[in-house]
Structure 1
């Protein structure tokens, strides 16, 4: 006789395993694994014995570490565990009739000052990694940093909680940030978009799905300004194209900084351009920040980024609601094709395409956008001539380059 499927929780509360005491009262459990927000949990309990409202009364700041455990789910003898992380109780409530209790927790350091205490500090000649490292050490967190070391000439924290300040700094440079199991994790969104899918999802695996496509709040280009240190003039650059243009008030340190900020703004805004929500049975290989491949959905097929996963567990069912954003097929193909062309043959000439800039070409051919000056100097005469033919006084040092122009790549 085969063993039946089992699903249950392991709950450590203030360092004590309480599942045996908890199991007879629990009605439902949910766990939110998110990219842009703190992870959270919610436990709904029957309080028919009035234990939770009396002797077991929770306190804000109590520590909860839950895990979801599945046995014999796909085959007999199998045991899978989802470790949800470490959480602090930040909200609880009671109601009747019937007597019930709801306990909600959020992922955060043990020291709640991370999200509440306002601080003021100025960093000069620092890096994002250094700033994150100082803040992590302050709250006893292990820093996991998965990005290049980004230089920051000067940044000010002005009466902000450390969590808000660090999150805004990460968003400025296209980085994600979250607290998970006493770790401060920071990663490069673009690098994560480039990772291979962890799972291919087909319609037969899905019990419910919805799709949305919108232009609202999405952009094709962004303008960012910085001050030229040589003449103190404000220089404004554009990343992308002008069809739907966003102009940010953020000030960059230099051109490279401005390019990164612009790319980050576009990437974050356009994550909501094409989205899907799926309800599926539990798949332990899925987590927020991973990529999946959708197949069999017709024109909706493609590579998607997992923005959020909601685990919903009750006596009757265990489902996962997965929120996805589409990873541009065009940008992937263009990037892959460009890499193939550059690596497979010697490239001496390039014809400018719509949306190209000297920065993007330097990044393509050299892997470093700051070398755009080399391309400009090698083609200065034809770039300036074309700018004048188009009615401009000059090209603004190569800012204006036009489709159809053939450039020498030195």
Structure 2
């Protein structure tokens, strides 16, 4: 098939295109006669997700053109003159494999669902038990990534070494996700990579843009809850029976209230330094969801999970936030981006 593009906007000066290759062949031009909408979801702790909805009054997609499990899709969103004249931008959505089909009617509609994890891998569904000894976090992650046909990308300050850690009747991904949470890391699978990144480092990065009230925001919501910031500090206490010693450390963040409940954690640690690091990670996990928000706006190819934004014009809700979920949607209503954000802790 010849390379083509799907025009979502009818305005000549401002356009957005959905470009797609299916099993290596660019079908963008052919797909435009059937495309109703498409959406891409990029979320921390989850697989990237692509959904394509097609009109099928001729019955082609439910017969000869029916996608098969494991078919590969490469997709991108391209904008032209979107924010300025002669400006072009591309959001590469990555590579996906088809893992499901929904069919409904009338009228006949097919929805193709695809994810960023190879379908044939067992790391998501198969539960198993294994004991890991004298092993680094990156060794565990690299082993799981290789089994899934992925490349490991580790962006953390500390590569924890475990004397012994047990995986008990868990899938590899669930096991790795549990470790990531304990270590204060976020896990993503995107673009052929298994990514582990330190959320505190991402939170400290400069903001990618200002989001201002009254400027191209179609809807918004914000919330905060003291129950999501209940602890003023965290104390780790552990008795090492083999060495006959007690290890403890307390982490109190900057600007913490002088009085309030203390989170007590009793987990195995090898040193006071490790106890202090664990205390910080545990307190971060307990308190990080204090301020949340969601925003819908015209499509923006620069918005992605892990980036920070500055929210302006909503009073007490103003401040620096990190994007936890970014959904890019194209359809009859044009191109829009919805994001879910949480306020950064600042430490």
Task: Give me the TM-score of the superposition, normalised by structure 2.
Answer: 0.87
- Equivalent pair of 2:224/2:292 in contact (CA under 8 Å): yes
State how far apart, in whole Å, the 1-side matches of 2:340 and 2:221 are: 10
Kindly state the Cα deviation for residue 187 of structure 1 after the two structures are TM-superposed: 0.9
- Equivalent pair of 1:11/1:17 in contact (CA under 8 Å): yes
State how far apart, in whole Å, the 1-side matches of 2:183 and 2:259 are: 22
**1:2-401, aligned counterparts within 5 Å?**
3-109=12-118, 111-147=120-156, 148-203=158-213, 204-220=215-231, 221-228=233-240, 231-232=243-244, 235=247, 237-240=249-252, 243-248=260-265, 250-328=267-345, 331=346
Kindly state the Cα deviation for residue 51 of structure 1 after the two structures are TM-superposed: 1.0
Task: Give me the TM-score of the superposition, normalised by structure 1.
Answer: 0.74
Q: Secondary structure at the match of 2:143?
A: helix
State how far apart, in whole Å, the 1-side matches of 2:194 and 2:273 are: 27
Counterpart of 1:342?
none
Q: Secondary structure at the match of 1:184?
A: strand
State how far apart, in whole Å, the 2-side matches of 1:59 and 1:128 are: 36
State how far apart, in whole Å, the 1-side matches of 2:130 and 2:145 are: 15
Give the structure with the higher percent helix: 1
- Larger mean Cα displacement after TM superposition, 171-180 or 155-164: 155-164
Deviations 1:27-68 (A, max 9, x none): 111111111222112111111111111111222222222111
Kindly state the Cα deviation for residue 245 of structure 1 after the two structures are TM-superposed: 4.3
State how far apart, in whole Å, the 2-side matches of 1:200 and 1:19 are: 33
Change in Cα spacing, 1:16 to 1:253, as seen in structure 2 (3 Å) is farther
Q: Secondary structure at the match of 1:115?
A: coil
- Equivalent pair of 2:99/2:119 in contact (CA under 8 Å): no
Give the number of equivalent residue pairs.
329
- Larger mean Cα displacement after TM superposition, 304-313 or 261-270: 261-270
Q: Which structure ranks higher in relative contact order (CA pairs < 8 Å, sequence separation ≥ 6)?
A: 2
- Equivalent pair of 2:53/2:111 in contact (CA under 8 Å): yes
Q: Secondary structure at the match of 2:226?
A: coil
Q: CA-atom RMSD, angstroms?
A: 2.3
Q: Secondary structure at the match of 2:260?
A: coil
Q: Which runs of 5+ in 2 are unaligned?
A: 1-10, 253-257
Kindly state the Cα deviation for residue 272 of structure 1 after the two structures are TM-superposed: 1.8
Change in Cα spacing, 1:5 to 1:218, as seen in structure 2 (3 Å) is same
State how far apart, in whole Å, the 1-side matches of 2:268 and 2:240 are: 12
Counterpart of 2:7?
none
Counterpart of 2:3?
none
State how far apart, in whole Å, the 1-side matches of 2:184 and 2:176 are: 12
Q: Which runs of 5+ in 1 are unaligned?
A: 333-410
Deviations 1:341-397 (A, max 9, x none): xxxxxxxxxxxxxxxxxxxxxxxxxxxxxxxxxxxxxxxxxxxxxxxxxxxxxxxxx
Q: Secondary structure at the match of 1:321?
A: strand
Q: Larger Rg: 1 or 2?
A: 1
Counterpart of 1:338?
none
Kindly state the Cα deviation for residue 236 of structure 1 after the two structures are TM-superposed: 5.6
Q: Secondary structure at the match of 2:206?
A: coil
State how far apart, in whole Å, the 2-side matches of 1:225 and 1:154 are: 19
Deviations 1:190-237 (A, max 9, x none): 111111111122212422211101123443144444332664456565
State how far apart, in whole Å, the 1-side matches of 2:204 and 2:83 are: 30
